Amino acid sequence: MPTRDAAALRREAARAYDAYLASCPARQLVDRISDKWVTLILPALADGPQRYSDLSRRIAGVSQKMLTQTLRSLERDGLVTRHVTPSVPVRVDYELTPLGLSLMPLIACIKDWAETHMDQVAAARQDYDSASSTTGAKV
Amino acid sequence: MPTRDAAALRREAARAYDAYLASCPARQLVDRISDKWVTLILPALADGPQRYSDLSRRIAGVSQKMLTQTLRSLERDGLVTRHVTPSVPVRVDYELTPLGLSLMPLIACIKDWAETHMDQVAAARQDYDSASSTTGAKV
DNA sequence: CAGGATCCGATATGATACTG
DNA sequence: CAGTATCATATCGGATCCTG
């Protein structure tokens, strides 16, 4: 039954590839910055240290769950520091590390490309969509 | 019932923010390149035009569904072209557009930062994980 | 104030089967 | 060969309740 074998082989290949990807630094970085909240939190921290509640207010629409979870992962990755002041009530400040700061130019690069080329992308999308509606595709 | 109102306000803010984000070019770009398969397909096409089956073979572990879907979205965004040769059986070639090509330096930038700094990230993770296991957190 | 725990629905992705 | 269509599921993110 060659079909089964082919499927099994493909699955194995997929697993191996996943493992390879997991070890790829660029892949890991992309995974990190592709997180919706990461790209919002890092710039928010670029101005300087922020309290948890400040972040929560500045980044409208983030749930505590996501804010906490994202901050934790950023802390784990050494991109931000978490400083607890044991007052009553407690106060927690988050701040970019030098490593986190070094990421900002890259974010600027991305922003740059986006602002230069995304209008072309938008135009291409319009073309594509109007063309397919012409050829009878469902809208 | 102030609690209801606060929750409702937050939801509205979240919606508004989502709308704002959707209009942000950088956000759109990040969304695009954050796609697992996009970052695999684009480099695969950097060498020159590739047939569907070639891509499918080069990118081990991609399902036809994801390959087709990703290629379609890239075509829609004007990053790749799709050229059909109506032979029997049909032959379809995908190729990077100039716009798609212009994205490669950015990908190189990302790769660059990753290769320079991801070891620090990895180290930070180890520190973080060993520290939390010391303080009695569950492993 | 900051965040842990839990439940639940939306979305994304993969496997599988079928087609021009 | 190059897809399309359908189904199952896994993960993500949000809402909600609770605590030091």
pLDDT digits 0-9 by tens, B73-100 = 999 999 999 999 999 899 999 999 999 9
Classify the phi-psi angles of A61: left when phi > 0, otherwise alpha if psi is within -120 to 50, otherwise beta.
Answer: left
* Domain B22-116, architecture per CATH: Orthogonal Bundle (1.10)
Cα dist. B59→A58, B4, B52, B81 in Å?
40, 49, 11, 18
Per-residue pLDDT, B26: 87
CA distance B95 to B41: 10
Q: Which residue of B has its CA nearest to A111?
A: B26
Per-residue pLDDT, B139: 44
Per-residue pLDDT, A21: 72
Q: What residues pair up with B51 in beta bridges, in sequence order?
A: B93
Nucleotide nearest to A8 (CA to C1'): C15
CB pairs under 8 A between A and B: 137
Model confidence at B103: pLDDT above 70: yes
Per-residue pLDDT, B9: 64
Domain ranges of chain B: 22-116
What phi, psi does B21 have (nearest 5°)?
A: -65, -40
CA distance A133 to B127: 55
Model confidence at B11: pLDDT above 90: no
CA distance A48 to B123: 24
Model confidence at A5: pLDDT above 60: no
Share of chain A above pLDDT 70, in %: 82
Provide the shortest C-alpha distance from residue B64 to chain A (in Å): 12
Q: What is the mean pLDDT of chain A?
A: 86
Residues B32/B26, Cβ–Cβ less than 8 Å? no
Of A80 and A33, the structure prediction assigns the larger pLDDT to A80
Which chain B residues touch A114 with a CB distance below 8 Å? Answer: 25-26, 28-30
pLDDT in tens, A94-132: 999 999 999 999 999 999 999 999 999 999 999 999 887
Rounded average pLDDT over B102-107: 93
Model confidence at B21: pLDDT above 70: yes
